[in-house]
Amino acid sequence: MKVRKIVEKFTEGLLFTSSTVTTIAVLFIVFFLFKSGVGLFSESPVEEGYTLAVNANNPVGILKTNQIKAIFNGDITNWKEVGGKDQQIQLFTIDELSSAYTEDQLGANLENIPACVNDYVSKNDNVFAFFESRRFPAHFVGRKLQVPKITVWEFLTGRQWYPTSAPISSFGVLPLILGTLLVTLIAILFALPIGLITAIYMAEIASDRMRKMMKPVIELLAGIPSVVYGFFGLVVLVPAIQKVFNLPVGETALAGSIILAIMALPTIITISEDSIRSAPVALKEASLALGASHWQSLRLVVIPYAKSGILAAFILGIGRAIGETMAVLMVTGNAAVMPHSIFEPIRTIPATIAAELGEAPFGGTHFKALFALGIILFIITFIFNSLVELIKSRNNK
């Protein structure tokens, strides 16, 4: 008797501990995600530890990220285009420094760099200097340029994703968000009807033997690693899409959507089939007894009964698709452009995180930007989940 009580207490404690630990772990991960990601908005887009500077007589005050990038890309070559005087922009980086001054002038241990920087900037009034902040002399004759910090608005609406571009990186996630949503939406458009039809067939129409054969095959789909799906997509699906639609390139949003649809199918089928089968036999029999045909009772009684289960399947399918990384990384081409059609390459948020996190220096701007992407993904999923809860609670009333 006593032993049983102890065992019960122990089991209770075990259950309590494991659920608490799980909750704390989830909260901790969310906290970590937000803590790392939010830091992005106190960062400057200029490469860490570097400073941009101009000649003291240059009237240009603040340059935007895009303008600085255009200057270093060679798209803007005249100060006039960014509100300065009508003169050529003279870039001045460590490369120009080593060609403008001899090694003797720079000093054996490069100790004269600050003096040389001063000299060069004072002599050339069209200069645009980019150096490590420490390389600037204490009494700098030029003017250090202010670059505005990354703002939330800029981050969310920016259309350029060049996270490692020097001297200035741009973190515009709009193409990534739209790419993710587009791929997911199309995937669900494919997967939902097919999944639903299969679920209805298996639950109501298929013979027992047929069902016993199909069920394990469909469940097998869920067990295939996503890399395998990705490779299959790259080698089989991508060339096929290219040929069928006569496209210049096969790595498209469509390829990603089809792969995602296949991957989301097992979830959708299994859950909707279960909910359809869980409709009480009495309900169905009552409907048949009232003279409704098999189809009528299926359409008017069974499916409405299983509605919330089907909805759950739909949302879980979206969840599977939106966070899927590897397969999408391999077949969508990963070009960070604004998606215009499903026949163009796109880049998704999970693929970006997976591809770039490995080499983003820990704690740097790029690293924080990737975590900020994680926050966006988290929020999108959170909204979807809340929607389900909302619809479910309405249905239950």
Partner 1 sequence: MKKSLIAMGLVVSMMLPSVMSAQKVVCKIKGSDTCLPLSQKFAEVYGNKNAGSGISVVGGGSGVGLAALLSGTTDIAQSSRKMKIDEKLKIQETGKAVKEVIIAYDALSVIVNPSNPINKLTREQLESIFTGRVSNWKQVGGPDLKIIVYSRETSSGTYEFFKENVLKKKNFASNALLMAATGAIVQSVSQTKGAIGYVGLAYVDKDVKALQVSFDGGKNFVTPSVENAMSRKYPITRPLFYYYLTSRDAAFRPLINFILSSEGQKIVLAEGYVPLS
Contact predicate 350/325, CB 8 Å: yes
Among 151, 144, 131, 148, which Cα is nearest to 67's?
148
Q: How far is the CB of 252 from partner 1 (least distance, A)?
A: 10
Q: How far is the CB of 103 from partner 1 (least distance, A)?
A: 12
Q: Which residue has the tokens 């220096």?
A: 361
Q: Which is nearer to partner 1, 161 or 314 (CB)?
A: 161
Q: Which is nearer to partner 1, 150 or 298 (CB)?
A: 150
Spatial distance between the Cα atoms of 274 and 277, rounded to a whole number of angstroms: 5
Q: Where do contacts with partner 1 occur on this chain (CB under 8 A)?
A: 49, 69, 72-74, 94, 98, 109-110, 132, 160-166, 234-235, 238-239, 242, 248-251, 329-330, 333-337, 345, 347, 354-356, 358-361
Q: How far is the CB of 94 from partner 1 (least distance, A)?
A: 5
Q: How far is the CB of 171 from partner 1 (least distance, A)?
A: 12
Q: How far is the CB of 244 from partner 1 (least distance, A)?
A: 14
Angle between helix 365-396 and 174-200 (nearest 10): 40
Q: Which is nearer to partner 1, 273 or 344 (CB)?
A: 344
Q: Which is nearer to partner 1, 248 or 291 (CB)?
A: 248
Spatial distance between the Cα atoms of 166 and 47, rounded to a whole number of angstroms: 7
Q: Which is nearer to partner 1, 169 or 275 (CB)?
A: 169
Q: Which is nearer to partner 1, 132 or 285 (CB)?
A: 132
Q: How far is the CB of 177 from partner 1 (least distance, A)?
A: 16
Contacts of 187 (CB under 8 A, 6+ apart): 256, 257, 258, 260, 261, 264, 321
Q: How far is the CB of 359 from partner 1 (least distance, A)?
A: 3
Structure tokens at 316: 């879980």
* Strand pairing class (143-144; 50-54): antiparallel
Q: How far is the CB of 158 from partner 1 (least distance, A)?
A: 12
Q: Which is nearer to partner 1, 55 or 352 (CB)?
A: 352
Contact predicate 195/269, CB 8 Å: yes
Q: Which residue has the tokens 């089968």?
A: 277
Q: Which is nearer to partner 1, 27 or 94 (CB)?
A: 94
Q: How far is the CB of 257 from partner 1 (least distance, A)?
A: 17
Structure tokens at 70: 């255009």
Q: Which is nearer to partner 1, 65 or 267 (CB)?
A: 65
Longest dimension (CA), the chain: 102
Residues in the chain: 397
**Residue 217: Cβ-neighbour burial (10 angstroms; 0-12, 13-18, 19+):** exposed
Q: How far is the CB of 9 from partner 1 (least distance, A)?
A: 47
Q: How far is the CB of 167 from partner 1 (least distance, A)?
A: 10
Q: Which is nearer to partner 1, 337 or 388 (CB)?
A: 337
Contact predicate 178/338, CB 8 Å: yes
Contact predicate 350/178, CB 8 Å: no
* Strand pairing class (90-92; 50-54): unpaired
Q: Rounded to the nearest 5°, which phi and psi values hold at 153?
A: -60, -45
Contact predicate 370/356, CB 8 Å: yes
Contact predicate 128/90, CB 8 Å: yes
Contacts of 392 (CB under 8 A, 6+ apart): 308, 311, 312
Question: What CA dihedral angle connects 194, 196, 198 and 199, to 10 degrees?
Answer: 160
Q: Which is nearer to partner 1, 39 or 114 (CB)?
A: 114
